[in-house]
Chains A and B, each alone.
Chain A
Amino acid sequence: MKYETQKLAYPYFLAAMGLFVAQVLGGLLAGTVYIFPNLLAEAVPFNVIRMIHTNALIVWLLFGFFGAAYYLVPEETETEIHSPLIAKLQFWLFLFGAAAAVLGYLFGIHEGREFLEQPLWIKVAIVVVALMFLFNISMTLLKGRKTAVSLILVMGLWGLALFFLFAFYNPSNLALDKMFWWYVVHLWVEGVWELIMAAILAFLLIKMTGIDREIVEKWLYVIVSMTLFTGLLGMGHHYFWIGTPGYWQWIGSIFSTLEVLPFFAIVVFAFMVVRKGGRDHPNQAAMLWTLGCAVLAFFGAGVWGFMHTLAPINYLTHGTQVTAAHGHLAFFGAYVMVNLAIITYAMPHLRGMQPYNQVLNMWSFWIMSSGMVFMTLTLTAAGILQTHLQRVMGISFMEVADEIGFFFILRGLSGVVVVIGVLLFVYATLSTDKAQVRVGGMKPQAAE
């Protein structure tokens, strides 16, 4: 670690991991209610569990992005962070907002649009936090070296804040409400967040393979170009059936199919770089998460996204368990894994430790990833059956739910595996491993 202010990332990563645990426990509880539906039905109903699960996910991913930015921007710009004080204030304000939101949900204090359940004052606090952060990071960038990595990262973060502003617009016409709701949700995960992900992956590849920065940065521009050129109009795949014009069926189908390209390019590029640059970086676990992220983002977003993105298919699968299958693997492969990659990479530096628990961390990779992949497969099976029974045969929702119950048991079991993987990850990242020195024969690590 070359810059003192990179340490600002540390509390962000800790909070991210803490909320990650809460998120998957919430998911596991929701999955359990699917199996035992009378559980907690009045005390903490499914809708409250679910909003805790999804909100904790989004908040911890944001904590991770903030942390990643505080960690890599000084190194990229070769400048200390503009104001460490703002970074610390921002951290506590965000943590307070997140805790207040979750506590409020338990007492039934929330708004009512999916993912945007935060009460108004918390939404305002989120904007304040984002502005503090953006001011701090942008000032740093202005002072320092402007690399493509830092530029695209900061652009992504600005976009994140900008599109969140649509969360404040809630027209009484449901069709309009939905049209602009996607300006937050779709333009986040299939737009600006992809910029953030690509920038973080580029940073990791530069650091870990020693490949020429020029090559990586040129590719980075190519990849984020593909992302936005396809992803902006790809929003059409949500405008098929909500009262929007019919031409979206063509635009949405075509452009969202092309959205697969950047995910494919990331896989090709990541493996090419690693082959050329060599993979002898001592932090093998970080390398594993980096490559794993490229691969599972491609499957979750690319393959599982394409599966239901053509209008005639989406006509049948829209709003079924197929969507849940895709939502899980896409979020996991892209945004969970990129966060775990940068955390795995940065933590040893931040904690000033040479030996870290690489073997355990790599185990957590395989456990968590196989759990998520299996969960996706069970939900896909459930979703295809549901589509057939409900959308083709016209059997009622609740009868269909009974028919596919078996798959929800399997989903629950894979959820247990995921939770074990997550706990192991946190343990591996925060513990000090003595065995590591024996097993892996780790060399003391250079600054990079």
Chain B
Amino acid sequence: MSEGLTKSAARNIFFGGTIFFLVILVALTVHSYGYIEKNSTDVAGITPGVEQGKAVWERHSCINCHTILGEGAYYAPELGNVWARYGGFEDADTARDGIKDWIRSQPTEVEGRRQMPHFEINEQELDALVDFFKWVNTIKTQNWPPNVAG
């Protein structure tokens, strides 16, 4: 396939093409940035609570058991739609209490069942976590996940 091609021509194609595709990628990234801020996420809804919730989420590295929007570890349930799974869009208070209670009551210590550890998370941080989950669940994800099981 490359009989007629010289090495220096191949090198020029490599550098030229790489710059070309890099420029397209950057342009699309800029566009996607705008799309995320304007169309797919509720930027105004990123309250200090949501921000703090994300920090708590990261401090305890929940991502290394759970997925969120399908990324992370595959050991524990998807949490991008946990708000919906707890019925948060119908009854926000019950969902909030449900999620907080769930986290507080871990581990289940049921033999042979995957465990979620106990975390030192205070009341206010728990609320922040729930704010975060609630906010994440409003991201327009092209209708992923397919169903409420996540």
Contact = CB atoms under 8 A, between A and B. Distances in A.
A320 B21 contact: no
B142 A113 contact: no
Contacts of B1: 222
A221 B7 contact: yes
A318 interface: yes
B139 interface: yes
B107 A42 contact: yes
A113 B139 contact: no
Interface string B68-85: 111111111110000000
Interface stretch (B87-95, B96-104, B113-121): B113-121
Contacts of B57: 112
Contact of A173 (B14, B41, B75): B41
B75 A46 contact: yes
B149 A50 contact: no
Contacts of A394: 146-149
A245 B74 contact: no
Given A176-B33, A225-B13, A243 B62 contact: no
Given A50-B73, A174-B136, A232-B22, A221 B64 contact: no
A318 B141 CA distance: 13
Interface in B22-81: 22, 24-25, 28-29, 31-33, 35-37, 39-41, 43, 46, 50-51, 54, 57-65, 67-78
Contacts of A179: 29, 32-33, 36
Contact of B144 (A34, A37, A240): A240
Interface residues of A, number: 68
Contact of B141 (A42, A111, A229, A241): A241
A225 B7 CA distance: 12
Contact of B73 (A111, A113, A114, A235): A114
Contacts, number: 207
B7 A229 contact: no
Interface residues of B, number: 74
B18 interface: yes
Contacts of B60: 47, 112
A41 B144 contact: no
A235 B26 CA distance: 12
A50 B36 contact: no
Contacts of A37: 112-115
A45 B39 CA distance: 38
A319 B36 contact: no
A242 B51 CA distance: 18
Interface stretch (A62-70, A136-144, A369-377, A396-404): A396-404
Task: Give the 8 A-B residue pairs with the shortest CB-CB distance, closest first.
Answer: A112-B58, A319-B70, A47-B64, A241-B144, A221-B10, A41-B115, A318-B70, A397-B77
Interface of A: 34, 37-38, 41-42, 45-48, 50-51, 110-114, 117, 148, 172-176, 178-179, 214, 217-219, 221-222, 224-225, 228-229, 232-233, 235, 238-246, 248-249, 251, 315-316, 318-321, 323-324, 390-392, 394-398, 400-401
Interface of B: 1-2, 5-7, 10-11, 13-14, 17-18, 21-22, 24-25, 28-29, 31-33, 35-37, 39-41, 43, 46, 50-51, 54, 57-65, 67-78, 107, 109, 111-115, 117-118, 135-136, 139-142, 144-150
Given A148-B11, A242-B141, A394-B148, 7 more contacts: A45-B117, A47-B73, A112-B59, A217-B7, A218-B2, A242-B69, A396-B77
